[in-house]
Amino acid sequence: MSELRLNLITREWVVIATERAKRPEDFKTPVSRKAVPPYLETCPFCPGNEAKTPGELIRIGGENGWKVRVVPNKFSAVSISGTKERKNDGIRRTVSGVGVHEVIVETPLHNMNPALLSLEQIENIVKIYKNRFLEAYLDPRVEHVIIFKNHGEGAGTSLEHPHSQLIGTPITPIQFRDRLEAAAHFFDDTGECLMCMLAKKEREEGVRIVIETEHFLTFVPYAALSPFHTWIFPKRHSASYGDIADAEIKDLALSLKGILSKLYHGLANPDYNFVIRSNKPKDCDMEYFHWYVSIIPRVSKAAGFELGSGMYVNTGLPEESAEFLRKAK
Amino acid sequence: MSELRLNLITREWVVIATERAKRPEDFKTPVSRKAVPPYLETCPFCPGNEAKTPGELIRIGGENGWKVRVVPNKFSAVSISGTKERKNDGIRRTVSGVGVHEVIVETPLHNMNPALLSLEQIENIVKIYKNRFLEAYLDPRVEHVIIFKNHGEGAGTSLEHPHSQLIGTPITPIQFRDRLEAAAHFFDDTGECLMCMLAKKEREEGVRIVIETEHFLTFVPYAALSPFHTWIFPKRHSASYGDIADAEIKDLALSLKGILSKLYHGLANPDYNFVIRSNKPKDCDMEYFHWYVSIIPRVSKAAGFELGSGMYVNTGLPEESAEFLRKAK
């Protein structure tokens, strides 16, 4: 019989569908990818084509120009110019689409797979994330910042050159507000941070742990919403990614490289998304929230049931997914 | 500049991305579909293969056997047998995966497109939905029922024979609970049902209306989460689909056929999901909730930003989407 598990952090119920369950290796369905050259003349992110992007915001220099480069998104979801205006008209709530939308170009090589980047390069990227995260919050119009990556067409990317994105929105997403509220209730009830308690519990049980480093715990959550859904939790309590220390940056890079390699080798380079879920820098001392990274390989498809209920059906057992990833290269 | 709109019913912010916006016809990207025969020997839903499904639950008879047929899902997410057991262990919340999971076979014809079904046949389906909906809630283990359809591979279907599904879960999805709560607050604040007020407002403004019939209003919501996202609202206030009257069944079939035809002809048979969002039959008199149908053509992809924020980026303007659908056949 299947089992429903509640993810207390995201407040989502997940049907762990044992009767439909596949073995972890059955999710290894190589995505057909066209052969990609290391350089593409038409790619705005390839070295030599820098003029094709709007003005560079920051770079980490390298022998041949740069290693990581951040530029405004040319087709931005929100606009860097303009004032924030709110209209509350009857039951209509509208805010002008101002904010920050940046692209973090992760490597000069057009055909590089992020999982194969050097540890040093991933460290550069993670460091740049912190810089841009803090910078975005300096914009008084920005209420919330999301850093995310779409890898592969199935994960919604349109440009193949490896990149991640940052969006600073002029409002706080209601989903984030709801989760903060649930975390606050938990703290009021128990005097503890739900995320800290969850990480402690995962560590004790061990069965869903994928990687443990000095500062981070990488695991498949108890109520993982899909096969190989993975979280990277900092061991030190902190509500904001803006607060990440240098030693933690190194260690996060190690954890991220670890899990991306395992996905790449274990599941034959699947499409995936990852996102950093974090509170504002100024709220980094908040007792009841804890930042983390969520990685979602796109090996299954949300359909009508998920859209209609906010629940998920997971056909991979979290414990088996974790075991498979632990053993993967 | 883009604009952020809050969907007060779903509590989701949507970036209406005017700068990235496409014209409605640009979303018409025909999905490659393999040629499908009207009958397939291996298909459990084709006439003559009835023995391949678990015991039939109900049928609407026709000249050659049946017109609509309901069977238990062979690969059910939740199990029809077994008792409901709750485990609350520390921060773990688990419920045994019991409940109802049925398949509504919409036509004997394997290769029929639901948009091309006769009005009478869609009426049969909508009528059967009511029967199964009411029946599922008679199971004391069931807390919430979702009726949904996945059309096409991109919408998560694995079987091509036209069918929809019903799942009765042993818990109330937290998303549903949150929306109920928001609706209750709105009612307390204003003395009105948010959904009734919204439908009234849409009718007054008219620009997002796609179809209006005697009992239903079909429109693209102000804060549509994706291009051509459409809602069908009953005009009569009722919190539960279980309460739908016979005249309304006829009229819902008309609205559903209307919107499915428009999607089929206007967007060249896109993948889509639809879902009936409803409260329990016994709560049909609830003043502050209103059942409705939500239809989501899968013409765009949710990516890291959506997963990481619960927000959406819509590159179709709701007003233009509606105009396009109004004009489509």
DSSP per-residue string spanning B298-313: -SS---HHHHHHS-EE
Other Cβ atoms closer than 10 A to A139: 16
Question: What percentage of chain B carries pLDDT values higher than 90?
Answer: 89
Q: String of b and e for A271-295 (b: at least 16 CB within 10 Å)?
A: bbbbbbbbbbbeebebebbbbbbbb
Tokens of B54: 């678990």
Which pLDDT score is estimated for A62?
82
Report chain B residues whose CB lies below 8 A from the CB of A76: 19-20
Which pLDDT score is estimated for B261?
98
pLDDT tens, A118-168? 999 999 999 999 999 999 999 999 999 999 999 999 899 988 999 999 999
Q: Which of residues 195-234 of A touch B (CB under 8 A)?
A: 197-198, 201, 222
Q: Which of residues 283-312 of B touch A (CB under 8 A)?
A: 294, 296, 301-305, 307-311
- Domains (range + CATH), chain A: 3-327 (3.30.428.10)
B319: Cβ contacts below 8 Å, ≥ 6 apart:
B207, B208, B220
Which pLDDT score is estimated for A273?
97
Report the distance separating Cα B29 and Cα B20, nearest Å. Answer: 17
Query: Cβ separation of B303 and A92 shorter than 8 Å?
Result: no
More confident residue, A22 or A39: A39
pLDDT tens, B115-159? 999 999 999 999 999 999 999 999 999 999 999 999 999 899 988
Residue B254 forms contact with A (CB below 8 Å): no
- A-B interface: how many C-beta pairs under 8 angstroms? 223
Q: pLDDT band for A182, please (50, 70, 90 cuts).
A: very high
Cα–Cα–Cα angle for B83, B87, B93, rounded to 5 degrees: 120
H/E run at residue A248? helix A246-266
A51-65, A265-279, B106-120, B211-225: which range is least confident on average?
A51-65
Minimal-distance CA residue of chain A relative to B93: A6
Minimal-distance CA residue of chain B relative to A20: B75
Q: pLDDT band for A34, please (50, 70, 90 cuts).
A: confident
Of A1, A22, A74, which to mutate for an interface test with B (greatest number of B Cβ within 10 Å)?
A1
Report the distance separating Cα A197 and Cα A203, nearest Å. Answer: 10
Of B13, B169, B175, the CB nearest to A173: B13
Which pLDDT score is estimated for A329?
85
Query: Cβ separation of B303 and A198 shorter than 8 Å?
Result: no
Cβ–Cβ < 8 Å for B274, A307: no
Strand partners, B11: none
Backbone phi and psi for residue A71, each to the nearest 5 degrees, phi listed first:
-135, 155
Cα–Cα–Cα angle for A276, A173, A83, rounded to 5 degrees: 105
pTM of the model: 0.95
Check whether A288 has a pLDDT greater than 90: yes
Q: pLDDT band for A32, please (50, 70, 90 cuts).
A: confident
Strand partners, B4: A95, B15
Of A4, A190, A196, which to mutate for an interface test with B (greatest number of B Cβ within 10 Å)?
A4
Residue B173 forms contact with A (CB below 8 Å): yes
Report the distance separating Cα B275 and Cα A58, nearest Å. Answer: 45
Of B8, B9, B13, which to mutate for an interface test with A (greatest number of A Cβ within 10 Å)?
B13
Nearest chain A Cα distance for residue B64, angstroms? 31
Cβ–Cβ < 8 Å for B160, B141: no
3-state secondary structure of A50: helix
Strand partners, A266: none
Other Cβ atoms closer than 10 A to A94: 17
Minimal-distance CA residue of chain A relative to B177: A309
B150: Cβ contacts below 8 Å, ≥ 6 apart:
A303, A304, B156, B157, B165, B273
Kind of pairing between the strands at A12-16 and B100-105? unpaired
Which pLDDT score is estimated for B288?
96
Query: Cβ separation of B148 and A175 shorter than 8 Å?
Result: no
Other Cβ atoms closer than 10 A to B189: 9
Which pLDDT score is estimated for B22?
83
Check whether A215 has a pLDDT greater than 80: yes
Check whether B30 has a pLDDT greater than 80: no
Which pLDDT score is estimated for A22?
83
Q: pLDDT band for A235, please (50, 70, 90 cuts).
A: very high
Which pLDDT score is estimated for A262?
97
**Closest C-alpha among B33, B28, B52 to residue B42:** B52
CA B73 to chain centre: 18
Check whether B180 has a pLDDT greater than 90: yes
Residue B191 forms contact with A (CB below 8 Å): no
> Cα-atom radius of gyration of chain A, to the nearest Å?
20
Average pLDDT across chain B, whole number? 95
Backbone phi and psi for residue A3, each to the nearest 5 degrees, phi listed first:
-140, 140
> Cα-atom radius of gyration of chain B, to the nearest Å?
20
Report chain A residues whose CB lies below 8 A from the CB of B201: 90-91
Other Cβ atoms closer than 10 A to A233: 23
Cβ–Cβ < 8 Å for B32, B18: no
Query: Cβ separation of B97 and A304 shorter than 8 Å?
Result: no
Strand partners, A144: A169
More confident residue, A255 or A36: A255
Which pLDDT score is estimated for B20?
75
Cβ–Cβ < 8 Å for B204, B260: no
Report chain B residues whose CB lies below 8 A from the CB of A79: 1-2, 19
Q: Which of residues 104-143 of B touch A (CB under 8 A)?
A: none
CA A225 to chain centre: 14
Minimal-distance CA residue of chain A relative to B9: A91
Cβ–Cβ < 8 Å for A79, A98: yes
Report the distance separating Cα A61 and Cα A69, nearest Å. Answer: 9
Mean pLDDT of B245-250: 98
Which pLDDT score is estimated for A18?
78
Cα–Cα–Cα angle for A48, A54, A58, rounded to 5 degrees: 80
Other Cβ atoms closer than 10 A to B239: 24
Cβ–Cβ < 8 Å for B244, A277: no
Report chain A residues whose CB lies below 8 A from the CB of B222: 92
Answer positive or negative: Cα dihedral of B127, B129, B130, B134: positive
DSSP code for B102: E
Other Cβ atoms closer than 10 A to B214: 11
Report the distance separating Cα B274 and Cα B263, nearest Å. Answer: 12
Of B97, B197, B304, the CB nearest to A148: B304
